[in-house]
Amino acid sequence: MTLNFESTKILMDYAKKSNIPLIYSSSAANYGVNDKHPSNLYGWSKYVAEQYVISNGGIGLRYFNVYGPGEYNKGRMASVAFQMYQKNKKGEKISLFPKKPLRDFVYIEDVISANVHGWQNFEILKGNYYEVGCGQARGFEEVISLMSIPFEYTDESVIPIGYQFYTCSDRKKWMTGWYSEWDLEKGIKDYLITLEK
């Protein structure tokens, strides 16, 4: 709450006072397990910060599962693509949750283009949130397979309470005039070039 809400509130107050456009990096975690409300503290912290930003004239961009170059400092918050690539490189065993959860994996290039689009069209988009994804729900297995990494499944008992088993951005909630240009196949292929350098 300190990092995601209190810090955002300070920035938004300053932006509003100084008439500076603010675009907030929100999250699909806002939808939780029922597609209505967050199901953990992280989700709530992002949700209340987003609501504060849009109620004060900013834009909230709800990123889905972002992956791509520049993740080296994200630790446990790095994408499954990055984490599994690093584990495989070290010869560690790759274990996925059973029940085959599905995610909308969005490549960083789409996230960048969404932010630029929001900035360029701020006046007509401000005061609302928008989803940023590729519009397809895909399995973690597909990500790992596209990277040619072997995997196995963990026991169901390790799945956290409130875990989201399905996320997919709704194209009707994308910003007008913005479209995803990177599907999972294209994104992973491009990402592997960076990872293998």
Where do the structural domains in the chain lie, given as residue ranges?
2-195
Specify whether 126 is catalytic.
Answer: no
9, 31, 46, 74: the catalytic one is 74
Tens digit of pLDDT for each residue in 10-63?
Answer: 999 999 999 999 999 999 999 988 787 888 898 999 999 999 999 999 999 999
Specify whether 42 is catalytic.
Answer: yes
2-195: CATH, from 3.30.70.20, 3.20.20.150, 3.20.20.70, 3.40.50.720: 3.40.50.720
CA distances (Å), 86 to each of 77, 89, 98, in order?
14, 5, 21
Please state whether 45 falls in left (phi above 0), alpha (psi between -120 and 50) or beta.
alpha
Model pTM score? 0.93
For 174, residues 6+ apart whose C-beta sits below 8 A from its C-beta are 130, 131, 132, 135, 180
Q: State the burial class of residue 45 (Cβ atoms within 10 Å of its Cβ: 0-12, 13-18, 19+).
A: buried
**What is residue 107's predicted lDDT score, i.e. its pLDDT?**
98
User: What token pair was written down for 30?
Assistant: 């806002």
Tens digit of pLDDT for each residue in 51-110?
Answer: 999 999 999 999 999 999 999 999 988 999 999 999 999 999 999 999 899 999 999 999
9, 16, 42, 87: the catalytic one is 42
User: Cα angle vertex 187, ends 185, 192, to 5°?
Assistant: 95
